[in-house]
Chain A
Amino acid sequence: MSDTLSSATAPASAPLTKWRPTGLLFIAAPILLIAIFLFYPALRSIWGTIYVRQPDGSYAFSIASYLYFFSDSYSLTNLGRTFWTTIVTMVLLIAINLPIAIYLRFSGSRLAVFIQVLALFPMFVPGIVIVYALIRYLGPNGLLQTLLEVVGIGGFQSPYLTPWGPVIGMVWDAMPFTLLVLTAGMSGIATSAIEAAQDVGAGRLRILFSIILPQIKNSLLVVTSLNFLGLFGQAFMPFMLGPTSPEMMGPFMLRTFSTVRDPLQAATQATIVFALCSVAGLAYVRSIARRRAAELVK
């Protein structure tokens, strides 16, 4: 995460002038570790989904498990539910955190510090605690419902065990990270630019759309792509807070692997999720690379 932050916020560093082999030596160890413990097993399992053991014991190329996935309405419904949950959560995260980030950037009051601490608080609470706390709070006959009834609002429908359950849990969980990246992006906006715009009579919305948003475009891209990766594969929140069916891909993969005991289909689901997530990963890498290139040109 600190990588993301620094790349999203770091001021232009000294340009890389010479190509030095010692630099490569420094990164050799981590790259080797990633290759051995991540790439190799991942490639093996992807390979295993297309080069499949046949009933007679021999191995042959087959895309049957993919054909099954894309012709199985149950699997497709789960994939659709995963997209829905991810996108709704991402939109909510931006909608909630962007105003806070703007407020934190332009307010120097003590209240701002307090709000920042409060918004980062979820980072220090383990997920399992949040989940059980949310069930007690948002659940049927929970604290929220009781409070609402005290002030005379009835008819509360608990989001627990509905598609909104995991959305709420995941917004809670991903909020600190989103806010950190956005406030970091905000700090790069020069006050002088905004004052200049105000001087020529730009309204608040105009400043937001013409000055602030273009300058934090990169932060938004980073936060969107990384949140997508994190949310799409979530397993814990969906199965604690969400409905039984449709499932999100995280719990679905887990269940296919451990309960249905079908490693081939689980690997196929994982490969499909991986392929979809690599689009988001690509967007992230490109945004970093563009920034790097821009820095080098300077």
Chain B
Amino acid sequence: MVMKRREFLKGTAAIGLGGVAAGLMGRTALAAEGTLDIFFNSDTNVVEFWGSAIKPAFEAANPGTTLNLVSGGGGASMNALAERAFAALQSGTDPQIDMMEAIGPYHPEGAIEAGLWDDFSTLNLSNMSKVNPAVIDNQWSLPYRGSQVVMMYNSEKVPTPPKTFEELVAWIKANPGQFAYARPDLGDSGACFIERALQEVMGRDESLFTNENYTPEYAEPMFAKLWVLLNDIAPSLYKGGEYTGGNTPSIQLLASGVISMTIAWSDMALVAMNEGVVPETTAVAQLQDLAFIGGYSSVLVPTNAANHEMSLKLADFLISPEVQNKVVTDLGGFPSINWSEMSPELQAKFANVATTSIPTFPGPWEPALFDGWYRNVASNLTRS
């Protein structure tokens, strides 16, 4: 039995390696003059978006160029590809990579110092001035699509959406039963709501929360203030303090008309609005004092790419209004360029979501925050 199992493991490992080798060879064989090899860390829906919205337009505008869109196969293999690009840089050979999507520039170590990635702050791409400075994380990553948590509401019942968290709380209390957010562990939108509330009770000071500084002693007094705020609004929530089971159920509740406002991810909200599963009067808005949490996906271009000129041309195309409009309409994403550069219809539709800040919240805080929420906020509901 043991022998057999070992042989079995060896066999599967060999098949796995063979598959990887075949895959790499396939990629090598495809590299050719005028073919841009682009590797994706994002899901297939994003690759499909490139295939239908970006590839045809770019290839038509640049005859002789072909975009070869390759699913990178997850973080570990994307890292391996970045290592390959770095090794090629050191040996002066062709990395067979012209662009990498949705990974950071920090792996492999030393790559930035060695000049592996293009520095977009010095390249003067023609569309660079259109990019919203708030969404740029570092000069090597060119952000091209985003998702941010927003307020999603029925504009018939909410003519002027809240602009600050304080106004949001006031609106919730003035309209009992009309607001719901998701349980923090089941929908990130709900997590973002209580995290934004935590930032609110701590004076909107983002620097208080970092990846390294969570300790129970440090966090407890802050949480205590948060529970007061959340318990204060709980009786004014849907069903006197009930919480939805995820991002989609929140939107569903809004769609059914029982509530007038909820918290949602922008891409899910936009897809729901484009597909018409929510009423025509549905709209989204962003807080203007400190926005809800969000994140942007970027592309990296290796400086040693064989088709370097063309890769930069593609990068410039990505942040053109032409592609950015499609990011909103076809992908349900957020544009990385300023809303003022977008098509007038989209500008009008999303006038309330333009943001000047895209905060993040450190993961190490979440286990204690979420469990505390269950024990101190969710369990206080008394059913009549």
Instruction: Let me know if B252 and A135 touch, CB within 8 A.
Output: yes
A interface secondary structure, majority: loop
Contact B256 A139 (CB under 8 A): yes
CB of B378 within 8 A of CB of A245, answer yes
Interface contact A243-B371, CB-CB below 8 Å:
no
With an 8 A cutoff between CB atoms, is A142 at the interface?
yes
- A246: chain B residues within 8 A (beta carbon): 379
Given A139-B256, A141-B258, A244-B183, A255 and B244 touching (CB < 8 A)?
A: no
Contacts of B322 in A (CB 8 A): none
- Also in contact, A32 and B1, with CB within 8 A (given A141-B257, A245-B374): yes
A136 to B251, CA, bound (A): 12
Q: Is the Cβ of B252 less than 8 Å from the Cβ of A244?
A: no
**A74 to chain B: closest residue by CB:** B375
Residues 266 to 287 of chain A near chain B (Cβ within 8 Å): none
Is A4 part of the contact surface with B, judged by Cβ < 8 Å? no
| A239 is an interface residue with CB less than 8 A from chain B | yes
Tell me whether A259 and B242 are in contact (CB under 8 A): no
Q: Give the CA-CA distance A165 to B20 in the complex, in Å.
A: 47
Closest Cβ neighbor of A77 among chain B residues: B379
B258→A140 contact, CB < 8 A: yes
- Closest-by-CB residue of B relative to A135 is B252
A260 and B378 contact, CB distance less than 8 A: no
| B227-263 contacts to A (CB < 8 Å) | 239, 242-246, 249, 252-253, 256-258
**Distance A244 CA – B242 CA, assembled complex (angstroms):** 7
Question: CB-CB contacts of A39-79 with B at 8 A, as 1s and 0s?
Answer: 00000000000000000000000000000000000100100
Number of chain B residues whose Cβ lies closer than 8 Å to a Cβ of chain A: 27
**Are B256 and A245 in contact, CB atoms less than 8 angstroms apart?**
no
Given A161-B242, A259-B370, are A245 and B252 neighbors across the interface (CB < 8 Å)? no
Point out the residue from B186, B367, B378, B379 that lies within 8 Å of A261, measured CB to CB.
Answer: B367
Q: Which residues of chain A in 111-151 are interfacial with respect to chain B, using CB atoms and an 8 Å cutoff? A: 135-136, 139-142
Within 8 A of B (CB), among A234-261: 239-241, 243-247, 255-256, 258-261
A7 at the interface (CB under 8 A from B): no
Residue B185 CB within 8 A of the other chain: yes
Task: Closest B residue to A255 by CB, please name it.
Answer: B185
Q: A215 — which chain B residues lie within 8 A by C-beta?
A: none
Query: B322-349: which have CB < 8 Å to A?
Result: none
User: Are A141 and B375 also in contact (CB < 8 A) when A32-B1, A161-B239, A255-B185 are?
Assistant: no
Does A162 sit within 8 A of B, measured CB to CB? yes
A161-B242, A244-B183, A244-B243 given; A74·B256 CB < 8 A: no
Q: Does B374 lie within 8 Å of A243, measured CB to CB?
A: no
A139 contacts which chain B residues (CB < 8 A)?
252-253, 256, 258
* Residue contact A245 to B381, C-beta cutoff 8 Å: yes
Q: How many A-B residue pairs have CB under 8 A?
A: 62
Task: Give residues 351-384 of B contacting A (CB, 8 Å).
Answer: 366-368, 370-371, 374-375, 378-379, 381, 383
Determine if A244 and B374 form an interchain contact, defined as CB atoms under 8 angstroms apart. yes
Which B-chain residue is minimally distant from A163 (CB atoms)? B383
Residues from chain B with Cβ under 8 Å of A241 in the complex: 245
In the bound complex, residues from chain A placing their C-beta under 8 Å from that of B370 are 255, 259-260
Which B residues are CB-close (under 8 A) to A239?
Answer: 186, 245
* Given A139-B252, A141-B257, A261-B367, A243 contacting B379 (CB threshold 8 A): no
Docked Cα-Cα span, A140 to B383, in Å, equals 17
Q: Which one of B243, B252, B256, B371 lies within 8 Å of A259 (CB-CB)?
A: B371
Flag if B256 contacts A243 (CB, 8 Å).
no
Q: Is the CB of B375 within 8 A of A259?
A: no
Chain B contacts of A140 at CB under 8 A?
253, 256, 258
Interface mask (B174-200 → A, CB under 8 Å = 1, otherwise 0): 000000000101100000000000000
Q: Are B379 and A141 in contact (CB under 8 A)?
A: no
Bound form: Cα–Cα A146–B134 in Å: 46
Contact (Cβ within 8 A) B381 A244:
yes
CA distance A258 to B366 in the complex (A): 11
> Which has the most chain B C-beta neighbours within 10 Å: A77, A246, A260?
A260
CB distance from A297 to the nearest CB of B (A): 38
Chain A, Cβ-Cβ closest to B257: A141
**Scoring A residues 154 to 195 as 1 if CB is less than 8 Å from chain B, else 0, what string do you get?**
000000011000000000000000000000000000000000
Let me know if B249 and A135 touch, CB within 8 A.
Answer: yes
A74 touches B379 (CB 8 A): yes
Q: Taking CB as reference atom, which chain B residue is nearest A162?
A: B383
Please measure, in the bound complex, the distance between the C-alpha atom of A261 and the C-alpha atom of B214, giving whole angstroms: 15
Which chain A residues border B374 with CB–CB below 8 Å? 74, 244-245, 247, 255
| Residues in B whose Cβ lies below 8 Å from that of A261 | 367
A141 vs B255: C-alpha distance when bound (angstroms): 10
Q: In whole angstroms, how far apart are the Cα atoms of A258 and B185 in the complex? A: 9
B185: which A residues are within 8 A, CB to CB? 255, 258-259
Give the distance to chain B from A37, nearest Cβ to Cβ, in Å: 12
Task: Determine which residue in B257, B368, B375 has the highest number of CB atoms from chain A within 10 A of its CB, and name it.
Answer: B375
Closest-CB distance, A134 to chain B (whole angstroms):
12
Chain A stretch 208-249: residues in CB contact (< 8 A) with chain B:
239-241, 243-247
User: Considering residues B186, B244, B245, which has the most beta carbons from chain A within 10 angstroms of its beta carbon?
Assistant: B245
B41 to chain A, nearest CB (A): 23
Report the bound CA distance from A255 to B370 in whole Å: 9
A135 to B244, CA, bound (A): 11
Residues of chain A within 8 A of B366, CB atoms compared = 259
CA distance A262 to B374 in the complex (A): 15
**In the bound complex, CA of A1 to CA of B24 (Å):** 46
A161-B243, A255-B370 are known; give 9 further A-B pairs, CB within 8 A.
Answer: A74-B374, A139-B258, A140-B258, A244-B378, A255-B371, A256-B371, A259-B185, A259-B370, A260-B367
Q: What are 27 contact pairs spanning A and B, CB under 8 A?
A: A32-B1, A74-B379, A77-B379, A135-B249, A139-B258, A141-B257, A142-B256, A161-B242, A161-B244, A161-B245, A239-B186, A240-B245, A243-B242, A244-B242, A244-B374, A244-B378, A245-B374, A245-B381, A246-B379, A247-B374, A256-B371, A258-B185, A259-B366, A259-B370, A260-B368, A261-B367, A262-B367
The 4 A-B residue pairs with the shortest CB-CB distance in the complex, in nearest-first order: A245-B378, A140-B258, A259-B185, A141-B256
